[in-house]
Amino acid sequence: MQHKLLKLKGTNEREFVRGQDIAMSLKEYSELPFKITKNKFDNEGYLFGEAANNYRKDTNMVNRADFPVDLDNVPHDIFDELVQGLKAQGVNAVVHTSFSHKLEGKGNRFRVIAETNRTMTPDEFPNAVLNFIDDVQVLKKYKEYIDPCTDRKSQFFLAPSHPPGMEKFARKQYINGGAPYVPDTQKRSATNSSSSKSDVVQRNVTLTKEVGRLVQLYKHKPTVIRGALAFNETYDTPLEIKEVMTVVNSIWRKHFKDNPEDTPINEIISGRQSYKIKDLKDLPKVGWVVKGIVPKKGIVTIYGASGSSKSFVAIDLAMNLALGNAWFGIPVITKVPVVYVALEGFTGVVKRLQGWCKHYKWYPNNLEVTKDELLLAENKSVDDFISFYRGREFSGGIVIIDTLNNACPNIDENHAGAMSGVIYNLKRIQTELDCTVLIIHHSGKNEENGMRGSSSLKASMDSVLHVTQSSNGLCHWVLEKSKDSECGVGYSYRLDEIEINDETTCVIRVVGGHEPAFKKQSLGTNQGRVFELLKERILPTFSQDEDLETTISAVATKWTEQPSNKRSNLIRSNISKLIEYGLIGTGFREQNQDRIWITEKGMNQ
């Protein structure tokens, strides 16, 4: 039986929105080969259903077909169990391993696509797929590992793929001994209520563990409440605040009842303070590790495209900080201990560090490098990291995490709630080790849009350095953001190749400093007017992005110089030019589709 599907193509998650409609049977899908690729998005994607204008979003869905279900991070390999369970209940399906299956830190991952005997309306689909999961015992058994986006109306799925070297774990099986599943589209109150209740219970359990840790660590109730509320925001569906407070109050009472030797801290001496105007002149000035660039006890990001030389910049910074040497001629206030967390390419990092030492004949004894796991979304992992380096008496230095992506392997970087938990843990490392934290991160596909992922990440940074490399090999870093110094300063450099142990690596050779002037884009009268109206509409919002169609309508009401019947079309054509100039961006942002925002270049226009 063939169903209509929307076949999508892209290079990152945001791009999988437009495609072409095709007819495909489950057997034909089962015959798709595993693609071997480092980037899972370098592949085809499929939306099992039809969408208006071949554009994927919830409101465009015409129908849904079949039941695709992903199971993530299952603690053991259940491939054969899935196949036997589906066969036993006569379900026609395809079962295959998914991209991250058995990757370190990712667990076991599988996809089940069950055949249905008809299509469903978009409103029928969520109930139908949840009912299907409850009806198939093997899926119900592992329900806690099923992707929570399964019942999303416009959810798409990448074709089978694995990274190089993981082909040996690839498995796929087509099951055709039964009949297409007949969807039950009615809402099952008892089941859904039970499922919802189970989710809430699970969230309460994890929150209770975290609150227990916070109480034991701080014994200061306001601090515990702040930590609990921040942790709660990491859930896709946070608990109500009153539920969080119930957990906090309960654990607080229990802890001090069970541990009478502990005493609650009612006042933190170094806590809240306020100052009169006359006192402000006596406040200490901002402390710097690298003057005007890297603040003392701050959080910093170095980001850039793959291959832009950002890790070379980080290593050069780390070595000079450990030695107390000036960096790119900028004063380093004092030498500090350095911990380099090499989560991406440990061997390459080691070679670069050794190459640097051999080239400059400097061998700092206060720099450590580790490849041990650090998961910023998991409190226990962060606790272990802090405890380990406290035990090594590390304090007052800098922790460099290379890269953020490898420290958050199961986190959607575009999800503001999920990233708030990561930011919270970065601040914990910074506070509890009394240090600066520097993360190495990637830019998005369009570098004009800045760092990849949620805008909340950049907003939380004290300094942001953007690294680029031109086609002729000339590299640059620019201070893109600084809360306490002038932005825009930067330096040019080249990578000089050197030999180390019969291999080659590179060191940085400074070419010169610069203060880049942002060249403004020349705009026509209508382009300039539309751009100003867009900024007036978008910039005052909290997220600094807006729904595209709502924005066009709002701008049209204010562009009174043009005839009302022509405004919308004129606005759309001018928006297209502004996108071409890199002044605005449109598309998928913060897990929302059809958004419009002002880019970094637009901010400087």
Q: Please check whether residues 216 and 331 belong to one and the same domain.
A: no
Residue where a domain stops, chosen among 168, 187, 206: 187
Q: What is the mean pLDDT of residues 301-329?
A: 93
Q: Please check whether residues 495 and 537 belong to one and the same domain.
A: no
Q: Please check whether residues 302 and 399 belong to one and the same domain.
A: yes
Residue where a domain stops, chosen among 212, 240, 258: 258
* pLDDT at residue 193 is higher than 50: no
The residue behind tokens 């605005």 is 584
Q: What is the mean pLDDT of residues 224-233?
A: 82
* pLDDT at residue 423 is higher than 60: yes
Q: Give me 346's structure tokens.
A: 């440990």
Range from 219-223, 266-270, 476-480, 551-555 carrying the lowest mean pLDDT: 266-270
* pLDDT at residue 527 is higher than 70: yes
Rg of the chain over Cα atoms, rounded to whole angstroms, equals 27
**Parallel/antiparallel/unpaired status of strands 172-175 and 2-9:** unpaired
pLDDT of residue 494: 92
Cα separation, 469 vs 498, in Å, equals 19
Q: Write the CB contacts of 214 (distance below 8 Å, at least 6 apart in sequence).
A: 223, 224, 227, 228
* pLDDT at residue 164 is higher than 70: yes
CA 105 vs CA 183, 188, 407: distances in Å:
35, 36, 10
* pLDDT at residue 139 is higher than 70: yes
Structural domain that includes position 102: 2-187
Answer whether 602's CB lies under 8 Å from 583's CB: yes
The residue that leads in pLDDT, 334 or 233, is 334
Percent of the chain at pLDDT > 70 equals: 92
* pLDDT at residue 430 is higher than 70: yes
Nearest to 497 by CA among 294, 359, 331: 359
Tell me what the pLDDT averaged over the chain comes to. Answer: 86
Q: Please check whether residues 538 and 584 belong to one and the same domain.
A: yes
**Parallel/antiparallel/unpaired status of strands 338-342 and 367-370:** parallel
Q: Look at residue 280 and tell me if it is in a domain.
A: no
The residue that leads in pLDDT, 386 or 501, is 386
pLDDT of residue 174: 94
pLDDT of residue 517: 45
Q: What is the mean pLDDT of residues 580-594?
A: 74
* pLDDT at residue 114 is higher than 80: yes
Q: Give me 200's structure tokens.
A: 């809430």
pLDDT of residue 511: 85
pLDDT in tens, 536-573: 888 877 667 788 888 999 999 999 888 888 898 899 88
Q: What is the mean pLDDT of residues 380-407?
A: 91
* pLDDT at residue 270 is higher than 70: no
The residue that leads in pLDDT, 284 or 93, is 93
Residue where a domain stops, chosen among 494, 514, 534: 514
* pLDDT at residue 292 is higher than 70: yes
Q: Please check whether residues 106 and 14 belong to one and the same domain.
A: yes
**Parallel/antiparallel/unpaired status of strands 398-402 and 436-442:** parallel
Q: Please check whether residues 429 and 556 belong to one and the same domain.
A: no
* pLDDT at residue 357 is higher than 50: yes
Q: What is the mean pLDDT of residues 275-283?
A: 77
Q: What is the mean pLDDT of residues 226-237?
A: 77
Residue 292: CB atoms within 10 A of its CB come to 16
Range from 21-30, 190-199, 433-442 carrying the lowest mean pLDDT: 190-199
Q: What is the mean pLDDT of residues 182-195?
A: 64
* pLDDT at residue 339 is higher than 90: yes
Q: Look at residue 268 and tell me if it is in a domain.
A: no
Q: Look at residue 343 and tell me if it is in a domain.
A: yes
Q: Please check whether residues 182 and 202 belong to one and the same domain.
A: no
Q: What is the mean pLDDT of residues 232-243?
A: 76
Q: CA triplet 308, 310, 316: central angle to 5 degrees?
A: 130
Q: Look at residue 416 and tell me if it is in a domain.
A: yes
Q: What is the mean pLDDT of residues 84-89?
A: 89
Cα separation, 71 vs 93, in Å, equals 15
pLDDT of residue 236: 65
Range from 36-45, 63-72, 324-333, 451-460 carrying the lowest mean pLDDT: 451-460
Cis peptide before 403 (omega within 30 of 0): yes
Q: Look at residue 362 and tell me if it is in a domain.
A: yes
The residue that leads in pLDDT, 170 or 579, is 170
Q: How many domains, the chain? A: 4
pTM of the model: 0.47
Q: Look at residue 281 and tell me if it is in a domain.
A: no
pLDDT of residue 200: 60
Q: Please check whether residues 354 and 501 belong to one and the same domain.
A: yes
The residue that leads in pLDDT, 455 or 554, is 554
529: domain CATH number is 1.10.10.10
Q: Look at residue 473 and tell me if it is in a domain.
A: yes
Range from 63-67, 267-271, 422-426 carrying the lowest mean pLDDT: 267-271
pLDDT in tens, 141-152: 888 888 877 888
Q: Please check whether residues 37 and 132 belong to one and the same domain.
A: yes
Q: Please check whether residues 297 and 406 belong to one and the same domain.
A: yes
pLDDT of residue 125: 92
Range from 236-240, 407-411, 501-505 carrying the lowest mean pLDDT: 236-240
Q: Please check whether residues 243 and 309 belong to one and the same domain.
A: no
